[in-house]
Amino acid sequence: MRMFAAYRIKSALAALFFIIAFPVLSQQPMKFDKEPLIVQTASGKRLNFIVEIADTNEQRARGLMYRKEMADDAGMIFDFGVARRVQMWMENTILPLDMLFVDSTGTIRNIKENAVPYSRDIIDSMTDVKYVVELNAGIVGKLGIKVGDKVMSATTTKRK
């Protein structure tokens, strides 16, 4: 009987540990490769960024969650592998973001400005896209990025 009680106590303590530790473990940094990315505007401006690449399911699920800061010329590109309608949200994302929804030719098809941190509201690409580029909120307006502008990077130019 004592052995059974000891087992139950150990099991309960292990479960408690995972309940407490899981949120902390999920916030641990994830490794992302980086690459230069250029937004070529219709007005002829070439805007330069360094973006992290999220091209696995695990990386796309994590994205920029838990980040407290990001350089003005930084961002993240999500590569979905195939063109499809994409839906995203901002749960566990501290930074307000601008999102560029980009098709397989590198053309920006939709833009979501100032996505609200921690929101569970769905942000929909509204059309088939292959990539989403996330930048700090306000960058789109400040730099004049528009639907129809082009995005170029090693990720958007590789053939799969």
CB 151 within 8 A of CB 39: yes
Instruction: Determine whether domain 32-157 maps to CATH 2.60.120.1140.
Output: yes
Q: Rounded to two decimals, what is the model's pTM? A: 0.82
Q: Going along 24-149, which residue ranges are E strands? A: 34-40, 46-54, 74-88, 97-102, 108-115, 123-136
Whether the Cβ atoms of residue 140 and residue 124 lie closer than 8 Å to each other:
no
Task: Give dist(CA 34, CA 36) in Å, integer.
Answer: 7
State pLDDT tens for residues 94-146. Answer: 999 999 999 999 999 999 999 999 999 999 999 999 999 999 999 999 999 99
In this predicted model, what pLDDT tens digit does every residue of 64-99 receive, in sequence order?
A: 999 999 999 999 999 999 999 999 999 999 999 999
What is the residue extent of each domain of the chain?
Answer: 1-30, 32-157
